[in-house]
């Protein structure tokens, strides 16, 4: 097995025993990128020189006998909406095509402090708006399991890179499912932490009350290791929660005895792919056999969550994206008559169609005369969605559901039908609305050989329970061990 195919925890042990070096691991990943990147197109920027330099520094410290953190020397990819000092951060948008941040996002600084090797920046739906990575201003990313299908989105580049062995692990961001849905479609593990558990400082904002950074990894153990690094209070993020961060590896226990797991009846609607439904039901049966109690629950406001999300998220996007006006940084139109014309042309030329669609939706919802009818009402419905989960968690310890209603769909299949595309996030976005945690793990394959994801949803700041359930399921199945043939 090549080094690039191993998990972070396997590589960590090999590094400590002197069986390999960080440079060898990093070169293995870079060689793999060279081999398959033309087919997958996971990366917007690859920092070969910087990665090898970081790897050599780690190897030097290991030679000196230094005790290093668990992720030291492990190559990681970052979604291209996290600021990296001196390295381009584009949000896969023409408007930020040449933007080089003067500072690191908090998660990036934490990774560097822990010795992780940053390989590069991954492709995404522009400004994280999309479910297929087809809204990137640069190119489409392909799903490594079938290059004619999408990898999901908006963190499609990160999920595809991990699935294709082009990164050992990656970070994505999740506003309505953008970590979990691509993780499901690419057959890897993706966790959206509780809102406020991971600092958003240096994450380029889409919808500030929904955005959250989280790990995309090969297995649950790697997920726990990465969570240990990125979680924690940050005074530079006013929404960062000041709560104690546990050692998530303590929850890597193959045991669900006595746990009460809810299955929401609203998450199996008419029209759900039968193979997805069967795989998730079977996953529930397995957890029951392993000692968990499966309880049917109801989340009655689920039907309203999708419409609600598509008022709140675009409203926040409209406000956040007002800063891209061609004045201080980013793209500026060359041909304009006056200031208003400069704004109009810069934004018309710099933003793609989906971003424009959401800015217009959001601006409309916030406009005078419509604010109360749409935005204010949406905030009240959001409270009802959150209360559904609060009530459910009085009866159960966690909830399982499909991550995505379908396996990966064909490229171009939903591009001209925004509503069909938005439905891809129907099972993931209520978790963001409620500000709670959710993880997606592989739980089966379609007859076409495409991965299917199981979502485990937990109480606020109870990532430990969903990691335990996900780990137990993983230890008793082999779905996470299968790899796409490229």
Which active-site residues does the annotation give? 79, 154, 178
Backbone φ and ψ for 147, nearest 5 degrees, come out as -65, -10
Beta-strand relationship, 75-79 and 169-173: parallel
Question: Percent helix, strand, coil in the chain (nearest 5)?
Answer: 45, 15, 40
Element (H, E) at 44: strand 43-46
CB 264 within 8 A of CB 298: yes
Beta-ladder partners of 437 = 458
CB 391 within 8 A of CB 302: no
User: CA 335 → CA 341, 344, 377, distances in Å?
Assistant: 9, 11, 41
Residues 6+ apart with CB under 8 A from 74: 8, 11, 12, 22, 25, 116, 117, 168, 169
User: CA 228 → CA 25, 120, 244, distances in Å?
Assistant: 22, 21, 11
Q: Which of 371, 428, 358 has its CA nearest to residue 178? A: 428
* Residue 180 to residue 153: CA distance in whole angstroms: 9
CB 130 within 8 A of CB 154: yes
CB 185 within 8 A of CB 159: yes
Alpha helices in 153-232, H assignment, sequence order: 156-163, 180-186, 220-230
- Sheet containing 451-458: give its strands across: 43-46, 117-122, 75-79, 169-173, 213-217, 189-192, 437-445, 451-458, 398-402, 260-264, 293-297
Q: Per the structure block, which two tokens stand in for 376?
A: 């204010």
CB 319 within 8 A of CB 298: no
Specify the 3-state DSSP secondary structure of 469.
Answer: helix
* Residue 32 to residue 8: CA distance in whole angstroms: 16
Q: Which of 177, 176, 141 has its CA nearest to residue 162? A: 141
Strand ranges inside 66-147, DSSP E: 75-79, 117-122
Q: Which of 201, 234, 216, 430 has its CA nearest to residue 313? A: 430
User: CA 349 → CA 139, 205, 343, distances in Å?
Assistant: 17, 20, 10
């Amino acid at each position: 097995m090549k080094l690039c195919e191993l998990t972070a925890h396997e590589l960590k042990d090999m590094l400590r025993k002197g069986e390999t070096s960080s440079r060898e691991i990093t070169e293995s990943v870079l060689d793999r990128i060279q081999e398959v990147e033309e087919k997958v197109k996971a990366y917007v920027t690859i920092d070969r020189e910087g990665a090898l330099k970081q790897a050599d520094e780690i190897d030097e410290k290991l030679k000196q006998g230094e005790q290093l953190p668990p992720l030291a020397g492990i190559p990681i990819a970052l979604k291209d909406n996290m600021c990296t000092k001196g390295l381009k951060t584009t949000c896969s948008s023409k408007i930020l095509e040449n933007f080089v941040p003067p500072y690191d996002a908090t998660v990036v600084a934490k990774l560097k402090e822990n010795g992780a090797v940053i390989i590069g920046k991954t492709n995404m739906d522009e400004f994280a708006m999309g479910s297929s990575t087809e809204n990137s201003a640069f190119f489409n990313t392909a799903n490594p399991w079938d290059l004619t299908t999408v990898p999901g989105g908006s963190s499609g580049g990160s999920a595809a890179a991990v699935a294709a062995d082009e990164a050992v692990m990656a970070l994505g961001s999740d506003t309505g499912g953008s970590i979990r849905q691509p993780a499901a479609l690419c057959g890897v593990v993706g966790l959206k932490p509780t809102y406020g558990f991971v600092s958003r400082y240096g994450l380029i904002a889409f919808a500030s009350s929904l955005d959250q950074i989280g790990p995309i990894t090969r297995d649950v153990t790697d997920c726990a290791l990465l969570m240990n690094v990125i979680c924690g209070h940050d005074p530079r993020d006013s929404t960062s929660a000041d709560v104690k961060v546990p050692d998530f590896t303590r929850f890597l226990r193959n045991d669900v005895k006595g746990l009460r797991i809810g299955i929401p009846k609203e998450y199996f609607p008419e029209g759900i792919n039968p193979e997805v439904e069967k795989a998730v039901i079977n996953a529930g049966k397995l957890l029951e056999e392993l000692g968990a109690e499966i309880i049917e629950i109801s989340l009655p406001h689920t039907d309203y969550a999708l419409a609600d999300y598509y008022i709140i998220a675009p409203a926040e996007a409209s406000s956040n994206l007002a800063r891209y006006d061609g004045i201080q940084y980013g793209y500026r139109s060359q041909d304009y008559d006056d200031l208003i014309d400069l704004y109009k042309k810069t934004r018309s030329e710099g933003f793609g169609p989906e971003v424009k669609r959401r800015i217009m939706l959001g601006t409309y919802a916030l406009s005078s005369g419509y604010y109360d009818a749409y935005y204010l009402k949406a905030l009240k419905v959001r409270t009802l969605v959150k209360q559904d989960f609060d009530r459910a968690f009085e009866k159960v310890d966690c909830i399982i559901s499909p991550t995505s209603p379908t396996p990966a769909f064909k490229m171009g299949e939903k591009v001209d039908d925004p509503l069909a595309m938005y439905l891809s996030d129907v099972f993931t976005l209520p978790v963001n609305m409620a500000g709670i945690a959710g993880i997606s793990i592989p739980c089966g394959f379609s007859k076409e050989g495409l991965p299917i994801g199981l979502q485990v949803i937990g109480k606020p700041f109870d990532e430990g329970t969903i990691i335990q359930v996900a780990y137990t399921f993983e230890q008793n199945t082999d779905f996470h061990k299968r790899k796409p043939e490229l």
